[in-house]
Structure 1
Amino acid sequence: MAGEAAVSGWVAPGWEAVREAFARGQSDDPGGAQLAVHHRGRPVVDLASAGEGATAAPGAFGAASVGVLMSVTKGLVAVCAHLLSERGVLDLDAPVARYWPEFAAAGKSATTVSDLLTHRAGLPAFGLDVSGPGPDGLRDWDLRVAELAAARPLWEPGTAFLYHSLTFGHLVGEVIRRASGMSVGAFFATEVAGPLGLDLWIGLPRDEEHRFVPQFSVRPAPSPEQIAGFLTGLGLAPDDPLHTGLRAAAAELADATDGLTTRQGRAAELPGAGGIGNARSLSRLYAALIGPVDGVRLLSPLTVERARAPRNDHLAPPPPLDSGDASDRSRFGLGFELPRAGLPLLGEGSFGHAGAGGRLGAAHPESGLAVGYVCTAMAWEPSAGPDPRWTAWTRTVVAAADAPGRGRD
């Protein structure tokens, strides 16, 4: 144990234990990290650990720095969809083809927008090319969404669910574009980030590039051969389209991660995993979903209830992937992750989204809590249970919010 990490930033009176817990959680982390907390619309924690280990990413990682969000970006996309729904522009229960007619091809005419938001669409990959399109190919939005529109689902939409690691962003993002006339990155910037003054982007502007601190991995990524062997071990025959599709999805995610090391990749709109931002803005965003923040509230209480209602608890992954342990399967509302053993978030009733390596944004309406956590070290593996960096501070944050009189502070 390296001892507590050096931490900068501030906490409001009564939240001092969160600083200590955050420092403990970062003690063995070679990278930098940020933690921000809002309580009933007010910032109460804004901390950073610079990450000065031997393998840390270059540059100090302060509270104003920005980094890759990975799948936390999906929560940003979901917010856009719910805003359009509230405004009567988008019906989440309607067929996707109402907004995107080409999508009706290959047996997808009944697929709903809600199926896209809940990973039930049967399209976990853009295609079946197990070598991937490459980082440049991923940036071709029109080509990627044309592939999805023409694709045949790998299972009957709505009957099973399996995480759509990159395609989620293009599927929901294209519906947002068709319904609003704006790309998902432009819509988020105009309708969400702008009113709240957020340092969050789906497509990093050039004039913000100087604030960016890159991510790095603490372990080698699995090889294509290892991924193929793992899928075969789960009972998927090598010639099964699902086997091929999941191999393709893994290659696409590797291409996306690779692309985010470049200016072109960060500037592109990759709404499944390519968001850029910091913890204080994530916390502020989630706080504005559940209550007013400086006079701005993004979603109504009714919309929040709809967004966090479980949607997939009665479903399983497509066979033969449905034969494993069901106790810690991913749980989803409409676009947001819900608590489970390996991802407890802020307890029952909370909602949010985690990102590969350890990023997190979440809110808990009943307690008024909202949190954001951004890190540079890709260290968390969902299969290993909750990120130990999170568990060091999440309980402390919940306890601080429950302290006598805290609801009036």
Structure 2
Amino acid sequence: MVGGTTGVPGTPGSADVDVQGTVAAGFEPVRDAFVRNFTERGDRGAAVAVYRDGRPVVDLWAGTRDADPEPGVPAAPWTADTAQIVRSATKGVAAAVPLLLHQRGLLDLDAPVGSYWPEFKAAGKERVTVREVLAHRAGVPALDRPLTPEQAADGVSGPAAVAAQEPFWEPGTAHGYHAQTFSWLLGELVLRVTGRTLGRWLAEEVSAPLGLDLWVGLPPEEAHRVGRVAAVEPPPQAAGALRTRPRREVSEAYRDPASLTRRAFGAIDPLPDENDPAYRAAELPASAGIATAGALARFYAATIGEVEGGVRLFAPETTALAGAERSAGTDRVLLVGTRYGLGHMLHGPASPLLSPASFGHPGRGGSLGFADPEAGVSFGYVTNALAKSVTADPRAQALVRALRSAL
């Protein structure tokens, strides 16, 4: 057990944070970085987990379950089974579903999406392949008419809108982050191939065999475990903060309602309340997954090898597919150089992971999950304090650097 109480100025409801959990010998730098995330980088409640060679070596949590506890009400502590919304870190988990369908011979990555989903052939998209959708090359990162939160979650309006959408560039010729539309692209494709929603398929074929506290579509009986998230301002000059010109450019583009950046992130308008039970219950595989840090780390561990209990998700060939580069260069939505595999973001300047072999996905505001097959390591970090970071949150990056030093 890791103990020690560390003062955390400004943490709602508490003057200090008790770090709980376990760390294997040699991985103490990850614990130290986790503590500094509270003392220097503004974390309020968070957890981090690492697997190596299929076994957990880091499992830590601290702070409060809710980022914004009610005034005058004692703040509930983060516990071992606290889960949080992980935003776009959901994409990396969701991408495993089409890869597993391909592994089982049920989905051809080079087939046109329209061969499974005929309505998608509209507006010049008849030759868009499954591979191009997964690599953010389909050309439909935004919608001409944004959906309401209710439409986004109804399972019908989103697929219909993205099927009818005219591409913003010739599909296959460039890439751009499909921030919200990825939900309906993947969700409808999986439904057409399997007859099951992506959330249900994931629950039955991935989460159940692995024993994961991970959901795309939160069951009502698990709602009590999920903390409230809140947007936070990082402390001035937070250690590890990334301040580069491209970051300013994407921030400026986001403020422009006419930019593709703003339209991609604003494909749901107004932005949903992420603490709303209805939103958390929605099956939105681009943005609304709920997970513990341990579940993210265990999930990714199973993509590169066996975990405790003898379960492995990906065959070696599928692991290689997950980490193979399919898109690289300037992203038409994020305006920085990004690298994508088949649904996973790969190690690069926009999202530094452990090494060039890593594949996974960050969540805007903080969360991160990934695997590194060369090191035999997987990683999960979740937080309830959502910062302004898009792909490289300073807290997650500090933990990754610490993990790299430990290895």
Does TM, scored on the shorter chain, surpass 0.5? yes
- Cα distance change of structure 1 residues 232 and 279 upon mapping to structure 2, 3 Å threshold: closer
- Cα distance change of structure 1 residues 370 and 232 upon mapping to structure 2, 3 Å threshold: closer
Match of 2:241 in 1: none
Instruction: State the secondary structure of the residue aligned to 1:141.
Output: coil
CA distance in 2, matches of 1:168, 1:232: 19
Which amino acid counterpart does residue 50 of structure 2 have in structure 1? V
Name the structure where helix makes up a greater proportion of residues. 1
Match of 2:322 in 1: 307
* Structure 1 position 276, deviation (Å): 0.6
* Structure 1 position 255, deviation (Å): 3.8
Pairwise mapping of residues 10-49 of structure 1 onto structure 2 (< 5 A)? 10-27=22-39, 28-49=41-62
Which amino acid counterpart does residue 390 of structure 1 have in structure 2? A
Does 2:107 correspond to 1:90? yes
Which amino acid counterpart does residue 295 of structure 2 have in structure 1? S
* Structure 1 position 170, deviation (Å): 1.1
CA distance in 1, matches of 2:65, 2:136: 38
Tell me the matched-pair count. Answer: 375
Mark the runs of 5 or more structure 1 residues left unpaired by the alignment: 221-226, 403-409
TM-score (norm 2): 0.85
Match of 1:349 in 2: 357
Match of 1:282 in 2: 296
Instruction: State the secondary structure of the residue aligned to 2:310.
Output: coil
Whether contact under 8 Å (2:49, 2:297) holds in the other structure is yes
- Cα distance change of structure 1 residues 216 and 54 upon mapping to structure 2, 3 Å threshold: closer
CA distance in 2, matches of 1:7, 1:30: 12
Mark the runs of 5 or more structure 2 residues left unpaired by the alignment: 1-6, 10-15, 235-248
- Cα distance change of structure 1 residues 160 and 342 upon mapping to structure 2, 3 Å threshold: closer
Pairwise mapping of residues 391-406 of structure 1 onto structure 2 (< 5 A)? 391-400=397-406, 402=407
CA distance in 2, matches of 1:174, 1:133: 16
- Cα distance change of structure 1 residues 114 and 256 upon mapping to structure 2, 3 Å threshold: farther
* Structure 1 position 59, deviation (Å): 3.1
Higher mean C-alpha displacement, 374-383 vs 102-111: 374-383
* Structure 1 position 137, deviation (Å): 1.8
Whether contact under 8 Å (2:98, 2:107) holds in the other structure is yes
Pairwise mapping of residues 107-256 of structure 1 onto structure 2 (< 5 A)? 107-125=124-142, 127-129=143-145, 132-219=146-233, 230-231=252-253, 243=258, 246-253=261-268, 255-256=270-271
* Structure 1 position 301, deviation (Å): 1.2
Match of 1:405 in 2: none
Whether contact under 8 Å (1:30, 1:55) holds in the other structure is no
Which amino acid counterpart does residue 48 of structure 2 have in structure 1? L
Which amino acid counterpart does residue 250 of structure 1 have in structure 2? F
Which amino acid counterpart does residue 89 of structure 2 have in structure 1? V
Question: C-alpha root-mean-square deviation of aligned residues, in Å?
Answer: 2.7
Whether contact under 8 Å (2:179, 2:286) holds in the other structure is yes
Percent of residue pairs bearing the same amino acid type: 43
- Cα distance change of structure 1 residues 11 and 246 upon mapping to structure 2, 3 Å threshold: closer
Whether contact under 8 Å (1:128, 1:245) holds in the other structure is no
Whether contact under 8 Å (1:123, 1:164) holds in the other structure is yes
- Cα distance change of structure 1 residues 340 and 253 upon mapping to structure 2, 3 Å threshold: farther
Whether contact under 8 Å (2:67, 2:229) holds in the other structure is no
TM-score (norm 1): 0.85
Does 2:395 correspond to 1:389? yes
CA distance in 2, matches of 1:54, 1:139: 25
* Structure 1 position 334, deviation (Å): 0.8
Whether contact under 8 Å (1:71, 1:355) holds in the other structure is yes
* Structure 1 position 278, deviation (Å): 0.7
CA distance in 2, matches of 1:195, 1:62: 23
Which amino acid counterpart does residue 15 of structure 1 have in structure 2? F
Whether contact under 8 Å (1:21, 1:393) holds in the other structure is yes
CA distance in 1, matches of 2:377, 2:69: 30
